[in-house]
Amino acid sequence: MLDQVLDIFDIVPDTDLDLMCPGQSLSSLTCRALSGVSEYLQVERPDLVLVQGDTATVFAASLAAFYQEIPIGHLEAGLRTGNLKSPWPEEANRVLTSHLATLHFAPTEVSRNNLLREGIALERIFVTGNTVIDALHLALARVRHNPPAIPQLGPFLMNQRRDIPLVLITAHRRESFGAKLESMCRTIARLAEHFPHVHFVYPVHLNPTVRATVANTLGNTATGFNGSNVHLIEPLSYLPFVALLERATVVLTDSGGIQEEAPSLGKPVLVMRDRTERPEGLQGGTVKLVGADPEEIFRETARLLNDVGHYQSMARVQNPYGDGAATQRILDAIWRYFDTNPSAVSSAATRRSECPQLLLERS
């Protein structure tokens, strides 16, 4: 899943820690990441470690850098729900990383204020917007110039009949595993039966737990539902996913980043979680929390599909998460940090290239 993103943006990793194993636990993944990143840092000695997001590898890389007294820059810093169990374990990863990091790149003023309340020094916080919007702008330009094919959907639904309503679904968070994900899937089946003219497209995550639940609850044999307007497709690479997001009418999700991307395209988002670390979308009216409650999911989706006025009120194009220039703001802040802290640049790095070396740990 990572390789296709690297290919799109022409990124070639210098080192692959090869951490992923089938069925591994969070603790084993975290230990392997901590060990692998630590060994890398001991050899390379970068002057700054950049981590982005809220994954186990973000926390492990931050801890490894902290142990070796290497400054840490946290992209997408300050997102909070205030509940360590939601999203789980991402909220804990975020909080722990914030208290290890040196530089904090907050996407919004809300995130900045969260960090200030936790005692993070004002001069170490930079409101930059989110790089996910930078990536979205780049991807949209490419998608509009050369629309990618999605063979599992075909041109009829993607291009020729764009007037057909399409609900895009993403659901894969660990906190949703079990009864919640089953409830979401049953509600999708109910919606599909109630709205036969609407197509429901669900790129199913590769996680075996997710795939088993989706197959058992939305698969033809298990549910007895013919699935004629439900499309369970393989995960999409980034450009086809952006094309599908732009094509969608409504988005149902338990994800995080899509809460930032969809409003940028004027797509109403129903978040199948009880809390979100991205309240800006709620405040702007483009995002609504529906939890895993089947009646709430059904009611709010039906309202968006039936009520043109309500749809238009949520589809207002508002983008509180950035203007596509977050990357440059982050780079400027990093260079200012090195300018004002010349001792942070190691002598080894100076001999190598006369400029600081950055290690990026992508979520």
For residue 148, the 8-state DSSP code is P
Radius of gyration of the chain (CA): 21
Question: Which residue stretches of the chain are H helix?
Answer: 2-8, 26-44, 56-67, 90-98, 109-117, 131-145, 154-155, 179-194, 208-218, 220-223, 238-247, 258-264, 279-284, 294-306, 308-314, 326-340, 347-353
Kindly state the helix (H) or strand (E) to which residue 107 belongs, with its residue range.
Answer: none
Mapping DSSP to helix (H, G, I), strand (E, B) and coil, where does residue 269 land? strand
CA distances from 308 to 43, 173, 249, 295 (A): 59, 31, 12, 21
Q: How far apart (Å, rounded) are the C-alpha atoms in residues 145 and 80?
A: 37
Provide the token pair at 119. 């005692």
Task: Give the long-range contacts of residues 340-345, CB within 8 A, separation 24 or more.
Answer: 344/47, 344/48, 344/71, 345/47
Helix/strand/coil percentages in the chain, nearest 5? 50, 15, 35
Q: How far apart (Å, rounded) are the C-alpha atoms in residues 106 and 112?
A: 6
Nearest-5° Cα angle at 75, 171 to 347: 140
Nearest-5° Cα angle at 344, 120 to 357: 105
Q: How far apart (Å, rounded) are the C-alpha atoms in residues 299 and 90?
A: 29
Provide the token pair at 117. 């309340």
Active site residues: 54, 76, 90, 172, 174, 205
